[in-house]
Structure 1
Amino acid sequence: MAGDPTDPTDGRVLAIVERGYRGALDKQFFDELYLATELHRQLGGLDVLLRGSAVGYALDAAPPPPLRIGNRTVDTLTDPRQGLRTLLGAGVRVLVEEPDIAALRSPLPLVDGVELAPAGATAARWAEYRMVVFL
């Protein structure tokens, strides 16, 4: 129940990320996970729910390899797993919807600290959050 001092969502904001980033070279310094870090700092508490294609961020995979374009190598690609680790280290609760992660059928484990959420469980708690935003 909101207002209960033991409620982890008391005063927190829920940020939902549904679309995984598809990639481009112009997005090397700012993404939705960086924005979430700033929102957490400025709003005083944030939970992040990964759904849809964004659940791939939660897989503990190797950093993206350098991209070779002609005779040029680009090695500054964003690693969403690093962004998640930054969020977790800042005290952000990161949840991933179980049916969406199961649909990937990946043998990779989740990034340490990421929690599985049953389908609809987080949506059922939206009223307990101060605000719900989509990033």
Structure 2
Amino acid sequence: MGDHQGRRRLLIVERAYRGALETQFADVLYLARELNRQQNGADVLLRGLAVTCAAADTRPAPSLVVGRRTLDTLPDPRDSVRSLLENGATVWAEEADLALFETGPHWLQPGVRRAGGADPLPDWSAYRGVHFL
């Protein structure tokens, strides 16, 4: 990992989807991006269904139709993961959970690390704080 780990926070995300309308302006990965920006860096470990946020799928996020209204301002977690990587966060996806969804060698976004296979899980004790989001 590196010596910067002690100053950073580890953010663990296990739930991929928490509702569309409730989170259209600030989802859990938005919080992770802000913590990374404001708190001297943060790394993210995606577990459970949240590993799907790291999918390399480039199709646009679907819109949601409610009555006669179409909501197309919903956050796309894949974009949030790309933004985290671009802004210096390390993003891991847990290997055991990836195995449930992965459909090929290019399924995972470039830059996302596999945790638990050849790449070890982050050392939680070396972080400034560990937070489950």
Task: Report the TM range for the smaller structure's normalisation.
Answer: 0.7 to 0.9
1:34 pairs with 2:27: no
Paired residue total = 130
* Equivalent of 2:42 in 22, 25, 46: 46
Q: Secondary structure at the residue paired with 1:103?
A: coil
Report the identity percentage.
Answer: 50
Matching of residue 55 in structure 1 with residue 51 in structure 2? yes
If the length of structure 2 is used for normalisation, what is the TM-score? 0.86
Question: What per-residue deviation string (whole Å, max 9, x for no partner) do you get for residues 55-89 of structure 1?
Answer: 11011122222223343222112100111111111
Matches within 5 A, 1:8-19: 8-19=4-15
Uncovered stretches (5+) of structure 2, i.e. residues with no partner: none
Report what 1:104 is aligned to: 101
TM-score normalised by the chain length of structure 1: 0.85
Determine helix, strand or coil for the equivalent of 1:30.
coil
Structure 1: segments with no counterpart, 5+ residues? none
Query: 1:90-101 counterparts in 2 under 5 A?
Result: 90-101=87-98
Q: What do you get for the CA RMSD once the two structures are aligned?
A: 2.1
1:130 match: 128
Q: Max radius of gyration: which structure? A: 1
Alpha-carbon distance in 2 for matches of 1:91, 1:25? 29
